Amino acid sequence: MNDTMTFQTQEQYQFIETILFENLGYNPEVLDFQFFYGGNFNLAVKVKVKEGDFFIKWNHGDHDGMFESEAKSLKVLGDTHVMSIPKVVNYGKIVDKHYLMMEFLTAAFKQNNYWSDFGQKLAQLHLHTAPQFGLDYNNYIGALPQSNEWMDNGVSFWIEKRLKVQAGLALYERRITQQLYDRILAFCEQLPTLIPNEKPALIHGDLWSGNVMTDSSGLVALVDPACYYGLREAELAFTTMFGGFDTNFYEAYHEIYPIENGFGDRIPIYNLYPLMVHVNLFGGGYLDAVEKILKKFE
């Protein structure tokens, strides 16, 4: 380890000690300390102290409100008591670093019924509804803000607060051409006839395999939500984008909360939103998939 890395690690260690002191009221003895570097802009550690195991993540920069909204979203999901969600200890800012401290979920081996249980629980989550689409606070998907102002119509919400926002950002950042932007707007005109306008469903909002865990009982736990009351088909479609979800998951979901016929044809439509999120976060490598979907409906 070079001198720079030693200094950074020591600085980070002191930062974690400060968080523990602020939230536990004293300096506990750290029994174990493990760094995670899995995110694109966050750093994270698992800290073991006598009081328990905690997961702390933090970042630099202009992500004001990110961890506050994540803490709120974890509570929204946790208050449903449908599945395991890590409990938040606190969030805050120390000097130039924003942090989120929560309980560390210890994982066990998956039970044989893991996927069917997950499917049933997601359906139960989606049965939680609200009078309108949106949420009473805005949040983030990855590093990108999500606007959750309430709207009466779910398809309109998805067009105006999701797809058009990402397309506009991509145009502004010159990640897409004006021509492609215009094609997306034209596609939006078709959407009310292509996707069903169901009642609002509480969704995780960023449901891919990287945000799915196993809890201490061997059943599902979810992390890193970007939740709101939206179209549940959009959530199910997102689970297919990167794979990793067993067929038992979908079968069990449909038994509890059946989907309208033709969902398979609608999956690419919904995935335009996460694809455009990835265009804005990671660049043009996802544009071919966007083009393919648009061409299918032109």
Please state whether beta strands 88-94 and 97-103 pair in parallel, antiparallel, or not at all (unpaired). Answer: antiparallel
Beta-bridged to residue 222, according to DSSP, are: 212
DSSP string covering 160-221, please? IIIIHHHHHHHHHTTSS-HHHHHHHHHHHHHGGGTS-----EEE-SS-SGGGEEE-TTSSEE
Active site residue 152: no
Residue that the structure tokens 């019924």 belong to: 113
- Residue 258 gets the label, from left (phi > 0), alpha (psi -120 to 50) or beta, of beta
Two tokens at 225?
A: 């939500």
Burial letters 70-86, b for 16+ CB under 10 A, else e = bbbbbebbbeeebbbbb
Q: What is the largest CA-CA distance in the chain?
A: 63
Given 64, 79, 206, 246, the catalytic residue: 206
Please answer whether residues 196 and 234 qualify as being in contact, where contact means their C-beta atoms are separated by less than 8 angstroms. no
How does DSSP classify residue 103? Answer: E
- Catalytic amino acids? 206
